[in-house]
Amino acid sequence: MVNDLPRDKHEIIVPRAAAVHDDTAAEVLIKHLFAQPSDKIPGIDYAVGYKPADGPTGGDILDVFPFDDGSVGFSVADISGKGVRAAVHAALIKYAIRAYASAEQPAEMVLRSLNRLFLENNAFEKTDAFASVFVGIVDSKRSVMTYASAGHEPVMFILPGSPVSVLAPTAPLIGIFGGQNDLFGQAVVSLEPGCTLVATTDGVTEARRDGELYGMERLTDLVARLAQKPVETQVKLLLADVSAYCYGKPQDDIALLVARIL
């Protein structure tokens, strides 16, 4: 029998049961790439929502993480591609952002460092992956958030009693341009108790019904109507509305984060 043949001492045998299939990618994303609201952070109330695509899943990130100085980081990313490779690249981005931010790099430097890492990884793995990435760092006193957005458009900010503001990108997509650090900038928004950050991946704005996109206008209108509700309720209603719009069959992963400063 084949199993009785002698094997080279350096040969590594991978059991069939241990093989990784695309079906496991969704589990990886949900368990390891998304923030867990059960992990409480003082001064921040947040919730996340996720609906995988009707087909091979991709690589989305929704992360919320505290630093030992009391500041808090938010990151949202949408990685090109589908399946396990996209999930691996998503993990690379998630933990690279945490590492760079923990080393006290400002938001724009986090994106510059991440861009270099992604380009180097593309060259080594002979891939052409890219990603849109949003990084926000809230100071320890919760008075300002410095953010950098690498082509990640669906990020909204609402001050109590004010209209929805869409946070404009400050940099190009990650993994496209090398050696052009001047392209990576950042911006600052003032915070006050009750202000809310709503961030999604483009699976929301690009959800389709009979060929028509859900779009930013529809999203910002709904975000404005829901702004005073609890964060968990906002996530639930946003997710339900987008899902219903595409008849419950999104072509791309739908992921969203709602966070409020207390």
In CATH, what number is assigned to the domain containing residue 164? 3.60.40.10
More confident residue, 178 or 23: 178
Q: Do the beta carbons of residue 148 and residue 135 sit within 8 Å?
A: yes
Q: Is position 70 within any domain?
A: yes
Task: Give the mean pLDDT of the chain.
Answer: 87
Residue 33 pLDDT level (bands cut at 50, 70, 90)? confident
- Residue 70 makes CB contacts below 8 A (sequence gap 6+) with 42, 140
Q: Is position 23 within any domain?
A: no
Six-digit token pair at 242?
């987008």
Q: Is position 17 within any domain?
A: no
Whether the predicted pLDDT of 14 surpasses 50? no
Task: Determine the Cα–Cα distance for residues 117 and 98; give it in Å rounded to an integer.
Answer: 14
Q: Is position 29 within any domain?
A: no
* Mean pLDDT of all residues in 181-190: 94
* Mean pLDDT of all residues in 142-148: 97
Provide the domain count of the chain.
1
More confident residue, 211 or 30: 211
Task: Determine the Cα–Cα distance for residues 193 and 248; give it in Å rounded to an integer.
Answer: 35
pLDDT for residue 130? 93
Residue 134's domain comprises 46-261
pLDDT for residue 67? 94
Distances (CA, A) of 225 to 96, 155, 203: 35, 16, 21
Task: Determine the Cα–Cα distance for residues 38 and 57; give it in Å rounded to an integer.
Answer: 24
* Mean pLDDT of all residues in 151-178: 95
Task: Determine the Cα–Cα distance for residues 112 and 181; give it in Å rounded to an integer.
Answer: 6
pLDDT for residue 10? 41
Q: Identify the three-state secondary structure at position 61.
A: strand
Whether the predicted pLDDT of 230 surpasses 70? yes
Lowest mean pLDDT among 5-9, 89-93, 116-120: 5-9
DSSP state of 5: S
Distances (CA, A) of 114 to 85, 98, 110, 117: 18, 11, 6, 5
